[in-house]
Structures are given as C-alpha cells and as structure tokens.
Amino acid sequence: MAEVNTPTIKTEAQLKVQPPKNYINVQAETHINKKVAQVLVSISPKIKIGPNLLSDLIRKIQPEVARDFASTKDRNPANMAAKILEKMLEKTPKILAELNNLAPKLNTLREIATKLQSPIDLGQILHNFEDLKQTYLPKANKDNSPKPQVLNLNSTPDLSQVKPFDSFSVKVTANLGEFCAWIAEKNLIDGISQKIAEAINLEQGLLSHE
C-alpha cells in the first residue's frame, strides 16, 4: 500500500489534518476536504470570517462541492476555488453583506479581492475567473434571496459605509510589548510574564536605552 501522506496546510490559519482512518476510501475525499478547507482558510481573513463561521462553512459547503467535483472530475484549482467561492456567496449572508458594502465601487469579483487588500491568496484565487461574475450574478438574480443587490454596479460609490463586523470591534492600541506587559500585570495568560514582555520590547527595539 502506498504511503499515507497526512495533508498539512498552513495558510492564514493553520489546519491540522488527522491521518485518515480508511486509506482506500479516503484519498479522494481528503483531497477535496483539503482543497475546500485550504481555499476557505486563505480567503477567510479578509472577508472577516472567524474560525467558527469558517468551520460552519466548511461543513455546509463541503458535501455540495465534493459532489460537484466528483461529477465533473474537474481538479483545476482555479475552477475549484471559483466553485467554492460561489457556494460561500450563496451560503453566507455575512459575506454577502460585506460584498454589498464594497460593490458600488467595484466591477468584478477580482476587484473586490483587490479592494479587500487580501493577502496574495485571494487575489490569486480570483485572478483566473473574471467570468465568475457572469456565471454567478445572473443566477443570483433569479433567486428569491436578497442577493440581487449584492453587486449593484451602477450605484454611487460610497466606501465610507464599510464598517468592520462587530466581532472585530475590539482594538488593541498598545504595541505588542506593552500589551504583553499588561497581560502579565493582570495575570491573564500563563506563559506571558513581565520578562517576556520586556524581551519583546527589546526584540522590537521599542525600549530606549539611556
């Protein structure tokens, strides 16, 4: 039997995949899991979905995406990513809302990626499927869901309306060393001590040396 490769993905978030229990059935499926997860994880930071929503998404879309991939035998990463993004847009009102905020100024999903200033991943993922807009939007317009307004390309640009989601409305203003010193003072996390905080300050060159 061929060697079992435990897939390990490191992108914006880290994923650890446990070894499959049944190798023979698993290889194709973990491949899909891995791909789905990988794309989602790489997209997630800039469209502001946290790990909980991310795991929900993976659960929700994985079976459908897996079915689609199995039927088309399409393993082109750009197509897979397009399919995954399309499913995400269908399943996640939060992302729709975010896109809705950005949409007036934008013409294509690719531009959305740029506007979101994603790390290379999202830009790269979207790079090859300009046509996703054409394939996705008409379909969205036929639905009864609130999707029709998602990409309203003709309205006046107003990016001032874009607000971070509530879950990100905690802003740490201190630098990392100061924040760690405060954590140590409050004894909030084991392993973060005043010594560590001072060393971080030194590493970052933040302490003045008289």
Partner 1 sequence: MNKDSEKNKTALEHAGEAFRKFWLEKGNAPIIKARHAELFIEPKVFLAGKLNPTISRLIIKEYLSKITLEDIASGRVVITSDHIKIKDKAGKLIAEVKSKKLIDSMMNKITNYLGKALSAKKAKEGLPYVEPAPEGNYAFGDIKDALIQFLDDMEKNDSKNLVRDAVVLLKKGSA
Among 72, 162, 168, 194, contact with partner 1 (rule: CB under 8 A): 168
Residue 196 binds to partner 1 (criterion: CB under 8 A): yes
Q: How far apart are the first and last CA of the chain?
A: 65
Residues 61-80 that bind partner 1 (CB under 8 A): 62
Residue 74 CA to residue 168 CA, distance in Å, equals: 37
Q: Contact at 8 Å (CB) between 119 and 45? A: yes
Q: Alpha-carbon Rg of the chain, whole angstroms?
A: 21
Residue 37 binds to partner 1 (criterion: CB under 8 A): yes
Among 41, 81, 99, 102, contact with partner 1 (rule: CB under 8 A): 41
Place of tokens 């060159």: 205
**String of contacts with partner 1 for each residue 6-25, x by CB under 8 A:** ------xxxxxxx-xxx--x
Among 39, 54, 99, 116, contact with partner 1 (rule: CB under 8 A): 54
Least distance (Å) between residue 148 CB and partner 1 = 29
Among 59, 205, 208, 209, contact with partner 1 (rule: CB under 8 A): 59
Q: Contact at 8 Å (CB) between 11 and 118? A: no
Residue 144 binds to partner 1 (criterion: CB under 8 A): no
Of 74, 65, 153, whose CA–CA distance to 109 is shortest? 153
Residue 163 CA to residue 41 CA, distance in Å, equals: 22
Least distance (Å) between residue 184 CB and partner 1 = 10
